[in-house]
Amino acid sequence: MSEEIKMEKEEGELEYHDILIDLIKGQSKKKKDALMKILYGGECLPIKVTEEASNLSNKHDFEIKAFNLPVTYKEELRKPRRVRIGAIQNSIAVSTSESVEKQRNALWAKIEKMLIAAGEMGTNVICLQEAWNMPFAFCTREKKKWMEFAEPIDGPTTQFLAKIAKKYQMVIVNPILERDIKRQGQIWNTVVVIDADGEVLGFHRKTHIPRVGDFNESTYYMEGNTPHTVFETKYAKIGINICYGRHFPENWAGYGLKGAEIVFNPSATVGLLSEPLWGVEARNAAIANGYFTVAINRVGTETFPNEFTSGNGLPSHKDFGHFYGSSFLTAPNGLRTPSLSRIRDSLLVAEVDLNQIRQVRDKWCFPMTRRLPVYAKLFNEASQLDWEPETVSKSNPQKKKKIIPKKK
């Protein structure tokens, strides 16, 4: 085991938010408020967890964190658009050496309790983590067994969730490994959006596929063909920026341009690779694009039957590393919730007012000042294979524009 992986395993038990709270406990209220403003954009108000939801969390060992994000100001003409947004992060339920059916069914049983708790909390729209109904086996590069988790858009997992969606009038974003029956069984990394009536509203396929570390996903599926799909659900217009797509500001921008009010980022990422970036990217996207973002990551360390390597010089190993959870929501003004646990199955519920989107955009004027034609020209030129960036230097002086004098 390399020193880096060993260090990551040791850090897996740490709860960074709790460490932060411990550090500021002894500070004055003024200093505490200032620290929370700098780190989180302010402080979210707690929401009382219902008795039914609390009983479920205690019985089935998952935490619930619930917050109310205050609106910038109360408007005179528009009624509030209060929406409760949810996110679920979880570990796998049984060993990866168990049968496909046993693994999938165990995850169904685990998530069902958490979704019921979300429903009891009055959640309107909720998103699960990337490929939630299976282990994240794409590090192994093995096809046998793991490909059996793939299913059609309207497959058994979607049908299972549709019943819960209908019962609680709750939109459920369902990330799965898709088998495209219209394209000779081709595999995609896909999210299925189930509206509050239990009907499938549509689907979106992962836009950016990583080729870094143990993320050997291109062995299984390639880039999707549904960029920046926005779904008008019963409660809000939502987009889904799957996992690796969060590293691309242009990708986040696409959802905003197409009218998204909430953008979910269902992910599976490990501490050794991405944790320093985690609290930054989705929060920046919320600020830059003037919408709500929800970053969701799975939890735990998943060990596989066979050792694997990824051509990165590390010794062969049987696990991906620690999936550090830490899911959170950010408002358009930069206010974010505290993270969920790094080590526990958890449910996040956050109540927001979608009117805040326009309020923040009115304040900062980003839609008016973003200069889209300037960027469109650059992106169009840069997308050509023969494009070469031009810089100004002594050997390549800047071209001066001719100034034509006005006629007197």
Q: Which two tokens stand for residue 335?
A: 């206010």
Q: How many C-beta atoms surround the C-beta of residue 64 within 10 A?
A: 23
Contacts of 2-5 spanning 24+ positions with Cβ under 8 A = 2/314, 2/315, 4/272, 5/272, 5/314, 5/317, 5/321
In whole angstroms, give the CA distance from residue 69 to residue 280: 19
In angstroms, how far is CA 275 from the centroid of its own chain? Answer: 14
User: In 63-155, where does DSSP find H-type helix?
Assistant: 100-120
Instruction: State the helix-helix crossing angle for 100-120 and 51-60, rounded to 10 degrees.
Output: 150
Element (H, E) at 275: helix 271-289
The residue behind tokens 């209220």 is 29
Compute the distance between CA of residue 128 and CA of residue 267 in angstroms, rounded to an integer.
Answer: 9
- DSSP assignment string, 320-387: EEEEE---EEE-TTS-BPPP--SSS-EEEEEEEETHHHHHHHHHH-HHHHS-HHHHHHHHHHHTSTT-
Question: How many CB atoms sit inside 10 A of residue 212's CB?
Answer: 13
The position carrying tokens 């956050």 is 350
Q: Is 233 exposed, middle or buried (0-12, 13-18, 19+ CB in 10 A)?
A: buried
Helix (H, G, I), strand (E, B) or coil at 188: strand
Task: Please give the positions annotated as active site.
Answer: 130, 206, 243
Across 152-261, where does the E strand assignment appear? Answer: 171-180, 186-194, 200-205, 230-232, 237-240
Q: Which of 130, 250, 136, 140 is nearest to 189 (CA)?
A: 130
Tokens (6 digits) for 70: 């205050």
